[in-house]
Amino acid sequence: MQKGNRNGQKQRYISIHVAEKFDDIRTLQNILPIADFTYEPTEITVGELVYFNSTSYDPDGTIINWTWNFGDSNMAYGEFVTHQYNNNGVFIVNLTVMDNDSATDSIEKTVIVGNQPPVADFTYDPEFPIVNETVYFYDESIDVDGEIISWWWDFGDGYYSDLQNPIHQYSAEGIYIVNLTITDNDGLTDSVEKSLTVQKLNNPPNEPSNPYPTDEAIDVILNITLTWDCSDPDNDPLTYDVYFGNVSSPPMVAANITDSSWFVEMLEQRTRYYWQIVAWDNHGVSTSGPIWSFITLGPPNNPPYAPVITGPNIVQMNHDYTYMFQSSDPDGDQIRYFVTWGDSNEDVSDYYPSNTPVILNHTWITTILPIMILKMTATAEDDLGAKSTTIEKWVVVVWFKSLQMAYSTPLQKIISNKDNQNYQRILNNHYQLLQILLK
């Protein structure tokens, strides 16, 4: 790679100086300097900083001048210089040195500035593709002294592409090693690898089911293992949060358990317990089960007493009326009320402490008859499921306020007879007659 221009043998020049004074006549023999240099690095690429070091010397004096010609029209002066080549190629570097007697020597060396290799890089989108989703690959490779002329993508699943910016779909979940190899216009290559995680589309767990004790079970023992079933559409492993207590929105008593069972003990007798399971899959997605309940064993439960209904007997259609229901439970249990309004509508109240008046509203909507007698019913049920006897109440529903006012007293009499079996028929068939009778 390096070669000198010297002709092998050292050349010597002799000069004779004649002094002004005879005593100073001396015959002097100047020896030529010897030019040489090294450079670092020896394998040069475009843009790289190259250090040129003169190793020239003068056997009988000193070097006083160094002139560098880098072969690319650039010059420099000095014993130690640096240079960067902007193009690859072959360059003749010339160094000329001069000694203190103005004698010179030169040396030339050939340097080869190589091709800068390309640098491979890429990105892809989306970051976490799911199975069969289109993944976009973007070439981000660079070549500082040329251009990239070919690409080879290995998607890691047995598929390849030679496009610069390919797309690809993965048909199975997993972690894939994607390799991109590029080649620049001078034939140098580079590769880069990145791992890509393909996820499956996640489904939430199925709803917890098949509780034990079964929902609404009674006489459940006081120490019992609750169990349930649950699965995940993706067959993900599941964990469970358990909510349990004697209130209808039970608190969480266990979190993140892996078994589909939970032991509870020392439960109170003849008490309704509520419980709920929340299932989580390993993608952090959850599904809540229904709130189940059961009643523990204990002394016999007594039903609430029959409720009392308080409210108007004669009402106008399409107006809202308020009724109060009240009962008590011999055991002091909470009570809720089932109410039928005689027009095929029903209501169920929340649970309230024993002996608490409970208000429910109702509107009888337009009927085809100007006067109708309807039968309301109310039943009290304690929170252990024991029902009272059912109480009835007759209500006369009229079209107009005037009817309500006019017939209030006589209708009240009829209703109070507790013998209304035929009155609806009478009212329907003999409305005019009744009108007269009631006057």
Q: Please say which residue, 168 or 382, places its beta carbon nearer to Ca ion.
A: 382
Q: Is residue 69 part of the contact set for Ca ion (CB under 5 A)?
A: no
- The single residue among 56, 116, 141, 326 that binds Ca ion, judged by CB under 5 A, is 116
CB of residue 255 vs Ca ion: minimum separation in angstroms?
Answer: 19
Distance CA 343, CA 283 (A): 50
User: What is the rounded radius of gyration, in angstroms, for the C-alpha atoms of the chain?
Assistant: 52
Any contact of residue 236 with Ca ion (CB under 5 A)? yes
Question: Any idea of the CA torsion for 163, 165, 166, 168, to the nearest 10 degrees?
Answer: 160
Strands lying side by side in the sheet with 261-264: 209-212, 224-229, 261-264
| DSSP track, 81-126 | EEEE-SS-EEEEEEEEEEETTS-EEEEEEEEEEEPPPPB--EEEES
Kindly state whether residue 333 participates in binding Ca ion, applying the rule CB under 5 A.
Answer: yes
Which CB atom, from 202 or from 408, has the smaller least distance to Ca ion?
A: 202
Pick between residue 293 and residue 404 the one whose CB is nearest to Ca ion.
293
Structural contact between residues 328 and 302, judged by C-beta atoms closer than 8 angstroms:
no
By CB under 5 A, the count of residues binding Ca ion is 25
Instruction: Choose, by CB under 5 A, the member of 67, 181, 302, 334 that binds Ca ion.
Output: 302
User: In this complex, which beta carbon is closest to Ca ion, that of residue 316 or of residue 354?
Assistant: 354
Can residue 331 be called a binding residue for Ca ion (CB under 5 A)? Answer: yes
Q: How far apart are CA 351 and CA 401, in angstroms?
A: 35
Residue length, the chain? 439
Tell me which stretch binds Ca ion (CB under 5 A): 14-22, 175-183, 299-307, 361-369: 299-307
Residue 173 binding Ca ion, by CB under 5 A: no
Q: How far is the CB of 332 from Ca ion (least distance, A)?
A: 8
Phi-psi map region of 24: left, alpha, beta (phi>0 left; psi -120 to 50 alpha): alpha
Residues 192-231 that bind Ca ion (CB under 5 A): 202-203
State the residues that interact with Ca ion by CB under 5 A: 30-31, 58, 60-61, 99, 115-116, 143, 145-146, 184, 186, 202-203, 232, 234, 236, 281, 301-302, 329, 331, 333, 382
